Amino acid sequence: MREPNFFLAGTTKGGTSTLYLWLSQHPDIFLPPRKELHYFCSCPERLKVAHTWDEYLEFFGSGDERIVGEASPCYLYYPAIAGAISQKVPKAKILASLRDPVERFWSHFLMNRTYREDYPAPAEILNEWEKQPPIDATDDLVGMGMYHDQIAHFYHSFGESNIKVVFLEDMSAHPQQVLADILAFLGIAAHPVDTDERDKMYVEGRNAVAHFLLRNRRVRRLGAGLLGPRARRTVKYSILGQSDSRPQVPDDIAGRLREIYRYDSLALESLLSGPLPWAWHR
């Protein structure tokens, strides 16, 4: 069994599924058919698909691809994961995809509202976070956007030269350039990739049955186990869901979030030694 040498550890709702689709097309890159293995993270046990190192390695099979890796967005969130990965794979390459944290929060909220009945309102989520932040990536919609410390942990464990940070905004505006930069970072040759292939569109259930199926955790887990990423997208977006106009983040919520994230974005900009795609923090 071979070991991974690459981890796609971007933030939830930050473009990791789209990057997974792009990189899976390259003949020198192997990514398991199942995204989000959650082996290293502290997420709920129901999300883990491997509990021992040998079970984990089974997902990578055998082959001659130069880059062998996996994509679990929550790896970026938990402080101990960078060190845990470096103990097992000290020379791994890390790709982190980020997004305007205000938009990231809102996209995460809309997704959870689709999947969970009676999901709390945005203001209630912010009020509760200010009282006591959650400690789980699946629930901490605010903390997921605190990027500075997340990237700093990986810098400390792997060194800046082994970390590549990309942004969803750049992936949308300049997909081929972002892809070329990633392949250069991984040290592999360019190859034709369909960067029009995207994932994680906004979706609403078509009817009551579709809403029930989208919100049923067992159904979603069954789909993840039986269907590949492309088949799951077809079921989600074309059969169960419909992509209506995406609601915009309310001004009052956006204002509160910008105040929460302002200093973190300034610190991230300093850490990366370059401007961020969003500018409201300056």
Output the pLDDT for position 220. Answer: 57
Residue 236 lies in a domain: no
CA distances in angstroms from 8 to 11, 36, 98, 104, 148, listed in the order given: 9, 10, 11, 17, 17
Residue 47 lies in a domain: yes
Query: Residue 22 belongs to a domain with what CATH number?
Result: 3.40.50.300
Closest alpha carbon to 11 in 154, 115, 116:
154
Residue 28 lies in a domain: yes
Output the pLDDT for position 7. Answer: 97
Distance CA 12, CA 105 (A): 9
Q: 């205000």: which residue's tokens?
A: 102
Residue 161 lies in a domain: yes
Residue 61 lies in a domain: yes
Query: What is the tens place of the pLDDT at every residue in 50-82?
Result: 888 999 999 998 889 999 999 998 899 999 999
Give the pair of three-digit tokens for residue 212.
Answer: 């029930």
- What pTM did the predictor assign? 0.86
Domain count, the chain: 1
Say if CB 106 and CB 55 are below 8 A apart: no
Which structural domain, as residue segments, surrounds residue 52?
A: 6-101+146-196+263-272
Evaluate if residue 245 carries a pLDDT over 70: no
Closest alpha carbon to 173 in 195, 156, 188, 147:
195
Q: What H or E segment, with its residue span, contains residue 205?
A: strand 204-205
Distance CA 162, CA 6 (A): 10
Query: What is the tens place of the pLDDT at every residue in 133-183?
Result: 988 888 899 999 999 999 999 999 999 999 999 999 999 999 999 999 999
Confidence of residue 259 (pLDDT cuts 50, 70, 90): very high
Residue 55 lies in a domain: yes
Residue 35 lies in a domain: yes
What lies within 8 Å, CB to CB, of 21 at 6+ separation is 197, 198, 199, 229, 230
Residue 282 lies in a domain: no
Give the pair of three-digit tokens for residue 61.
Answer: 């099979």
Confidence of residue 197 (pLDDT cuts 50, 70, 90): confident
Say if CB 157 and CB 147 are below 8 A apart: no
Q: Please tell me what DSSP assigns to residue 250.
A: P
